[in-house]
Amino acid sequence: MSASRMPPPPPALVERFELVLERFPGLARRKMFGYPAAFLPAGHMVSGLHGSSWLVRLDEAAGAELIADGGTTFEPVPGRRMGGFYCLPPTVVADDAALGGWMERAVAHAASLPPKRSPRPKLEGRRPAG
């Protein structure tokens, strides 16, 4: 494994993520950065795992509140912050009520975002080189 590649999340964290997502049946499960993630049907990511971190999508005010509570900004690559995403502190991940509350806030925030534009339709066939 290269030095830049993050290790897989701990199996217990993946299991906890899946159990918590059962409380949110409207979220689709997909991979982001090769890790489990949860998305709204409109395409916005709500939450996910990255290494041993659990991240949530929040507005700036809620993000500041989470940071004051021990959370951090999310940097998939050190020094490159992914705006709007924050890592939950282990104390929150271990607390069902706190975790559920942050997940509800993440779902509500992602649902408030404008719909994602669908990608351009693929062209049928190829254009001749010219």
**Confidence bin at 69 (pLDDT 50/70/90):** very high
- For the cut 80, the answer to whether the pLDDT of residue 50 exceeds it is yes
List the domain range (segments joined by +) for residue 104.
11-112
User: Any alpha helices (H) in the chain, and if so which ranges?
Assistant: 11-21, 60-68, 90-93, 96-112
The pTM score is 0.83
Q: What is the pLDDT of residue 3?
A: 40
Query: Does residue 121 sit within a domain?
Result: no
Question: Percent of the chain at pLDDT above 90?
Answer: 73
* The total number of structural domains that make up the chain: 1
CATH number where 62 lies = 3.30.1460
Query: Does residue 59 sit within a domain?
Result: yes
Query: Does residue 126 sit within a domain?
Result: no
Query: Does residue 25 sit within a domain?
Result: yes
Q: What region does 43 belong to: left with phi over 0, alpha with psi -120 to 50, or beta? A: left
CA 34 – CA 51 distance, rounded (Å): 10
More confident residue, 5 or 84: 84
Average pLDDT of the chain, as a whole number:
89
Q: What is the pLDDT of residue 119?
A: 59
Query: Does residue 128 sit within a domain?
Result: no
Query: Does residue 130 sit within a domain?
Result: no
Q: What is the pLDDT of residue 130?
A: 52
**Confidence bin at 89 (pLDDT 50/70/90):** very high
Q: What is the pLDDT of residue 23?
A: 95
What separation in angstroms does the CA of 118 have from each of 1, 39, 81, 82, 106?
35, 15, 25, 21, 22
**Confidence bin at 118 (pLDDT 50/70/90):** low
Query: Does residue 62 sit within a domain?
Result: yes
Query: Does residue 90 sit within a domain?
Result: yes
- Helix orientation angle between 96-112 and 60-68, rounded to the nearest 10 degrees: 160
